[in-house]
Amino acid sequence: MQKKAQAAVQAAYKAGDLLRNRFRSNFKIREKAPANLVTELDIQAEKIILDILCLEYPGIPALTEEGLAISNESPKERWIIDPLDGTTNYAHGYPCFAVSIALEHYGQIKVGVVYDPMMDQMYTAIQGQGAFVNGEPIRVSHTRTLSKSLIGSGFPYYAWTNTNNNSSEWAALIKRVVSLRCDGSAALDLCRVASGSLDGFWELDLEAWDMAAGALIVLEAGGLVTRVEGSPFTPFQRSLLATNGSIHAELLDVLMASFSDDH
Ligand code: IPD
Ligand code: CA
Ligand code: CA
């Protein structure tokens, strides 16, 4: 796994360098759907990552957001890649975005790599070996109660029309915590839980490439990850609740009480 993790790190650095160098430059942006943007850098970053990983591991398929490589069946191993997590931020010149690469092995996430190019922070985890930023170990926070917690979340695309758009959950939580943050990159939000800047994070409607790497990094930093209803987490079932462990049950209670009927 160590060698595969190194290849993922190399690919994330290379894609991240491109994203940083082209940040706020003149690039093409189009709408996949209303309020769901994609830039030409999403595509270029994905290509860079695939070129590196496919050259080194031609036998390992990839599931990628922009679909340059598609693996929907469940092979023995596959990469799960979000070349640019935080596209809306990137398109608006808001400096919060990441490259996320995970390696799935027989249904389990074994490697997680998330790179924050603007902060030059490389978050890494291999299952059973701890979590790190730039090679230094990281741990979740020690906060014990929700009322002392800083919590992150995010809103799905199609929030205009989707009634399961996280607004009732957000409204309930703001009365119970120190404050809430919505920073627009789920992969980085998870790394902030892993490194203790956030005490918890939830989202209702994410894709496997948003969560796979970051969830492993939280677990390896000593945190807890479930679905928002408290059932076991898998990156393929859209919702996620990640915390330092101590506040998990309390946060889960508030979320459960606030779910809209459509949930
Ligand atoms: C998005 C980000 C955002 C989350 C959205 C995701 P993208 O990913 O992770 O934080 O709220 O639901 O789709 O589209 O920027 O890769
Ligand atoms: Ca994403
Ligand atoms: Ca993306």
- State the CATH number of the domain containing residue 240: 3.40.190.80
pLDDT at 157: 79
Residue nearest to atom 16 of ligand 1 (CA): 85
Q: What is the pLDDT of residue 38?
A: 85
If asked whether residues 44 and 118 sit together in one domain, one would say yes
Question: How many Å apart are CA 142 and CA 144, to the nearest integer?
Answer: 6
Query: Ligand 2 center to residue 204 CA distance, Å?
Result: 13
Which of 92, 110, 137 marks a domain boundary? 137
Range of the domain at 48: 2-137
Report which ligand 1 atom has the smallest distance to the Cα of 210: 9
- Scored b (16 or more CB within 10 A) or e, 38-62 reads bbebbbbbbbbbbebbbeebeebbb
- 44 and 19 in a common domain: yes
| Residues 214, 104 within the same domain | no
CATH of the domain at 6: 3.30.540.10
List the helix and strand counts (H, then E) for the chain. 7, 14
Cα gap 36→45, rounded to integer Å:
18
User: Is the same domain home to 111 and 175?
Assistant: no
For 59, residues 6+ apart whose C-beta sits below 8 A from its C-beta are none
Q: Give distance in angstroms: CA of 189 to centre of ligand 1.
A: 11
For the Cβ of 45 lying below 6 angstroms from any atom of ligand 1, the answer is: no
- Ligand located closest to 86 CA: 1
Are 225 and 254 part of one and the same domain?
A: yes
Please give the average pLDDT of every successive group of 10 residues along the chain, which has 263 residues: 96 98 93 84 97 94 85 81 97 98 96 98 98 98 98 87 87 96 98 98 96 98 97 94 98 90 57
Going from the C-alpha of 1 to that of each of 4, 109, 113, 257, the distances in angstroms are: 5, 11, 12, 41
Number of domain units in the chain: 2
Among 137, 163, 184, the domain-final residue is 137
Same domain (yes/no): 96, 161: no
The predicted structure's pLDDT at residue 164: 81
Which ligand sits closest to the CA of 15?
Answer: 3
Residue 188 CB–ligand 1 contact under 6 Å = no
Nearest Cα to 218, choosing from 202, 204, 206?
A: 202
Query: Is the CB of residue 46 below 6 angstroms from any atom belonging to ligand 1?
Result: no
Query: Atom 11 (ligand 1): residue with closest C-alpha?
Result: 154
One-letter amino acid of 254: V
pLDDT at 71 (0 to 100): 63
Closest by alpha carbon to 236, among 69, 109, 70?
109
